[in-house]
């Protein structure tokens, strides 16, 4: 079996390539970085270190790579592939769509059978987005052929994946935990063996939201609370029992959204919370508070990690004290090197906190805004912060 993966970055190597290799695929990467391509082709492998207690190291092989400029070779690889995956960044899907379109049409012409393309990007329904981009590069008749031969199952991924330059070359660093959820109804290539340790689900939305409103929400809530306390990393902050208690209580509030909306079992959500907190406390990882808290405007969006669970739970009369505190703390995140943070602080100075809450979160309900405002004022007083 042959897998073609677009993007030899941290997630490409640390999660997608890792699991495809473990599943027995002959793995070929496509990347824009000439040095990465040459390194893979010289050694036919790359190195990965799992950030567990033993710092377990692995060599992922055999692998090879193509430079994205070698268009004919990439097209031929698409023709011969049994599975195509991507992790190029959501903004780059439009850049790889033209060559994917050409490769798909050539394999259809050569009657190579059906194939699935799974885009693993930091956005909801990335494969559907790639499908739209592919269709933009084809005629109506070609689109019909692609619909008949190509599946675009959406996916959700979760694994902290970093890289480090060492004397032996670049090493991919990953946390022990990972999750790759694939939406089964979107698949066309039914004869393809399942990917080892990937989870196939009938509906992806609950799992995408679980990552956003539990994992990402908890990460941000910890960062903004820890910032006020003066901590520099998530791991050091969670050594403080009060911050861990706050995190767990915020996660438990948000968990009620899933119990109510998707009928998740309470015990299942408790187990997921324990696993999430354990990930955050991993001392082999150093999660910088400023990095985790960056781009607060995005994180305060109406459908985003801090605001949506707060809104929905408020509307149903469920507890939101910790969630509203986390939202308030985000408005107190002041990093002069973060453009979004500077924008928020300038807006608060000019318009006040109440109008700022409406402006950035789009929350209109007066009672909910008051809860956030009250927590904002309490936090300012607790930490003696000036306006």
Is 226 a member of any domain? yes
Question: How far is C-alpha 188 from the geometric centre of its chain's CA atoms?
Answer: 25
Query: Would you state the pLDDT for residue 387?
Result: 58
Q: How far apart are CA 384 and CA 387, in angstroms?
A: 10
Q: How far apart are CA 248 and CA 62, in angstroms?
A: 42
Q: How confident is the model at residue 239 (pLDDT cuts 50, 70, 90)?
A: very high
Preceding omega of 67 cis (within 30 degrees of 0):
no
The answer to whether residue 124 scores a pLDDT higher than 90 is no
Same domain as 236, residue 194: no
- Looking at the structure of the chain, the number of domains it has is 2
Which token pair is 366?
């007066």
Among 188, 176, 69, 63, smallest CA distance to 118 is for 188
Domain CATH for 230: 1.10.1040.10
The answer to whether residue 68 scores a pLDDT higher than 90 is yes
Pairing of strands 199-201, 179-183: parallel
Same domain as 168, residue 307: no
Query: Would you state the pLDDT for residue 317?
Result: 96
User: Strand runs (DSSP E) across 237-282, as ranges?
Assistant: none
Same domain as 33, residue 151: yes
Same domain as 293, residue 184: no
The answer to whether the CB of 31 falls within 8 A of the CB of 43 is no
Same domain as 256, residue 150: no
Question: How far is C-alpha 74 from the geometric centre of its chain's CA atoms?
Answer: 26
Is 356 a member of any domain? yes
Give the Å distances, CA to CA, from 364 to 129, 306, 311, 336.
Answer: 31, 16, 10, 29
Q: How confident is the model at residue 122 (pLDDT cuts 50, 70, 90)?
A: confident
Q: How far apart are CA 178 and CA 226, in angstroms?
A: 25
For the chain, give the mean pLDDT: 95
Is 262 a member of any domain? yes
Query: Would you state the pLDDT for residue 301?
Result: 96
Q: How far apart are CA 87 and CA 353, in angstroms?
A: 38
Question: The domain containing residue 150 runs over which residues?
Answer: 2-201
Would you tell me how many other CB atoms lie within 10 Å of the CB of residue 351?
12
The answer to whether residue 236 scores a pLDDT higher than 80 is yes
Among 153, 227, 139, 156, smallest CA distance to 186 is for 153
Same domain as 135, residue 179: yes
Same domain as 329, residue 180: no
Is 240 a member of any domain? yes
Is 387 a member of any domain? no
Domain closes at, from 149, 171, 201: 201
Q: What is the mean pLDDT of residues 336-354?
A: 97
Predicted confidence (pLDDT) per residue in 307-329, tens digit: 999 999 999 999 999 999 999 99
The helix (run of H) or strand (run of E) holding residue 107 is helix 93-109
Among 277, 289, 278, 233, smallest CA distance to 252 is for 277
Q: What is the mean pLDDT of residues 97-113?
A: 97
Which token pair is 335?
């990093």
Predicted confidence (pLDDT) per residue in 243-257, tens digit: 999 999 999 999 999
Q: How confident is the model at residue 162 (pLDDT cuts 50, 70, 90)?
A: confident
Same domain as 285, residue 165: no
Would you say how long the chain is, in residues?
387
The answer to whether residue 386 scores a pLDDT higher than 90 is no
Query: Would you state the pLDDT for residue 123?
Result: 83
User: Could you tell me which residue, 164 or 254, shows the higher pLDDT?
Assistant: 254
Q: How confident is the model at residue 190 (pLDDT cuts 50, 70, 90)?
A: confident
Q: What is the mean pLDDT of residues 201-229?
A: 95
The rounded percent of the chain whose pLDDT value lies above 90 is 93
Q: What is the mean pLDDT of residues 211-238?
A: 97
Q: What is the mean pLDDT of residues 79-106?
A: 97
Same domain as 156, residue 51: yes
Same domain as 143, residue 57: yes
Sheet holding 26-31, edge to edge: 63-67, 26-31, 2-6, 83-86, 115-119, 150-151
Predicted confidence (pLDDT) per residue in 52-61, tens digit: 988 999 999 9
Q: What is the mean pLDDT of residues 116-140?
A: 94
């Amino acid at each position: 079996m042959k897998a073609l993966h677009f993007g030899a970055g941290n997630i490409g190597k640390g999660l997608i390539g890792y699991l495809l290799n473990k599943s027995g695929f002959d793995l070929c990467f496509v990347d824009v970085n000439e040095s990465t391509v040459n390194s893979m082709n010289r050694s036919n492998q790359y190195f990965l270190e799992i950030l567990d207690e033993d710092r377990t190291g692995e060599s992922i092989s055999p692998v090879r790579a193509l430079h994205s400029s070698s268009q004919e070779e990439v097209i031929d690889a698409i023709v011969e592939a049994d599975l195509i995956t991507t992790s190029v960044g959501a903004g780059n899907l439009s850049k790889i769509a033209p060559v994917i379109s050409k490769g798909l049409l050539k394999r259809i012409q050569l009657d190579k059978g059906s194939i699935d393309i799974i885009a693993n990007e930091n956005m909801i329904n990335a494969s559907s987005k790639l499908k739209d981009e592919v269709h933009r590069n084809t005629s109506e008749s070609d689109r019909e052929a692609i619909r008949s031969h190509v599946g675009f199952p959406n996916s959700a991924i979760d694994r902290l994946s970093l890289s480090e330059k060492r004397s032996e070359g670049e090493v991919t660093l990953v946390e022990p935990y990972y999750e790759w959820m694939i939406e089964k109804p979107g698949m066309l290539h039914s004869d393809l063996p399942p990917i080892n340790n990937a989870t196939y689900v009938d509906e992806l939305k609950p799992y995408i939201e679980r990552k956003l409103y539990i994992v990402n929400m908890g990460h941000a809530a910890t960062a903004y609370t820890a910032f006020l306390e003066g901590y520099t990393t998530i791991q050091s902050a969670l050594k403080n029992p009060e911050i861990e208690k706050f995190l767990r209580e915020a996660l438990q509030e948000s968990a009620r959204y899933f119990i109510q909306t998707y009928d998740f079992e309470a015990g299942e959500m408790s187990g997921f919370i324990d696993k999430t907190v354990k990930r955050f406390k991993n001392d082999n990882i150093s999660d910088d508070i400023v990095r985790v808290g960056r781009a607060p405007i995005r994180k305060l969006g109406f459908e985003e990690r801090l605001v949506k669970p707060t809104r929905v739970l408020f509307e149903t009369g469920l507890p939101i004290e910790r969630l509203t505190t986390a939202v308030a703390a985000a408005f107190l995140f002041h990093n002069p090197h973060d453009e979004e943070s500077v924008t928020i602080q300038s807006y608060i100075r000019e318009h006040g906190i109440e109008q700022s809450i409406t402006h950035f979160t789009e929350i209109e309900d007066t009672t909910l805004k008051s809860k956030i405002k009250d927590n904002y004022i309490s936090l300012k007083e607790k930490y003696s912060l000036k306006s």
